Homo-oligomer: A and B are copies of this chain.
Amino acid sequence: MTGDPVGMHRVLEPLGALPQAAARLDTDPAIRDDEVRVRVQRLNLDAASFRQLSDKHGGDGEAVRAEVLEIVSRCGKMHNPVTGSGGMLVGTVEEVGEGSPLGLAVGDVVASLVSLTLTPLVIEDGLAGWDGLSEQVPAAGYAILFGRSIAAKLPKDLSMPLALSVMDVCGAPALTERHVRQYADPVVVVIGGAGKSGSLCLAAARRAGARRTIAVVPHAAERDLLEPTGLADHVLVCDARDPVALRDAIAAAGGPADLTIVCVDVPGCEGGGILATADGGTVIFFSMATSFSAAALGAEGLAADVTMIVGNGFVPGHAELALEIVRSEPAVRRLFEGRL
């Protein structure tokens, strides 16, 4: 029996919801003709989700682990109810339906590039190998990929943690590249430029033709990390939640931006992103902490003629582009390796 390509046949409640919006998924290990079952080795929790869980439990790793297990068991997927976000997984292909369009074979080591919030998942080891203190979660269990899911084989020339860490944020540089190309010699601001997606976006922006790149970081330690790499023309230490301070700092560094990319996973950066950007410019929000209404009402209240984009994690060719940047930009690779 062939499944629905987006996985509607796995939705238990509410009926009619897409798997991502569903409260509970069917985790039956028996696959349909177009599905793939993956033996899970590792989960990579979304940064906003991990931070919320860690903050909620005051950094108590045992409590974080217990809540992740509870969510997966109740929902049949890892879907943080507060942040709405999930993460990704790595595993080995265990069974491939004969009608699967994903091009995978049994034994392939793959990363899922669709969110854990829509991926049927069963954890079988109680996450015994995880201390609850980092986003990288060793895990044993299985997951199901649908006909329209996206999975990438892990490259052989990069370590698994590094490849996973790159693929987790690979949508950001690809979408950045696309939007940079829509402007002639643009000024590009990356808020959170020393982070994983931020450093990839800085490199992607320069390759795509940015005239000037400006990175915003929250404190001197991140400036000292980023500045020597040369990935950005300017590195500014500024609280992105203070919109006027941010606007003024960026103006002094050669702004405002034609394109602003918000890569920090803290709430309250909508006004800063908008005020950093020139009229006619674009703001891409990649942070899952973004509030839709704060962005919409903020731009209207500031009479800001900016195009605001919901950062879509899927762009064709995104994983290949991000891995290529990491291979060819030693500075980006060092930043990633420093965070593993």
**Which A residues fall within an 8 A CB radius of B?**
4, 6, 8, 16-21, 83-86, 113-115, 117-118, 148-150, 171, 241-245, 268, 270-271, 275, 285, 288, 290-316
Query: Given contacts A118-B301, A275-B6, A302-B148, is CB(A310)–CB(B288) below 8 Å?
Result: no
Most buried by B among A19, A296, A308: A296
Contact between B271 and A299, CB atoms less than 8 A apart: no
B residues within 8 A CB of A85? 293, 297
B residues within 8 A CB of A115? 297, 300-301
Contact between B117 and A20, CB atoms less than 8 A apart: no
Chain B minimum-CB-distance residue to A115 = B297
Contact between B296 and A18, CB atoms less than 8 A apart: no
Query: Given contacts A244-B4, A291-B84, is CB(A304)–CB(B297) below 8 Å?
Result: no
Query: Given contacts A312-B306, A314-B300, is CB(A293)–CB(B18) below 8 Å?
Result: no
Chain B minimum-CB-distance residue to A11 = B244
Contact between B244 and A8, CB atoms less than 8 A apart: yes
Contact between B294 and A285, CB atoms less than 8 A apart: no
B residues within 8 A CB of A16? 241-242, 244-245
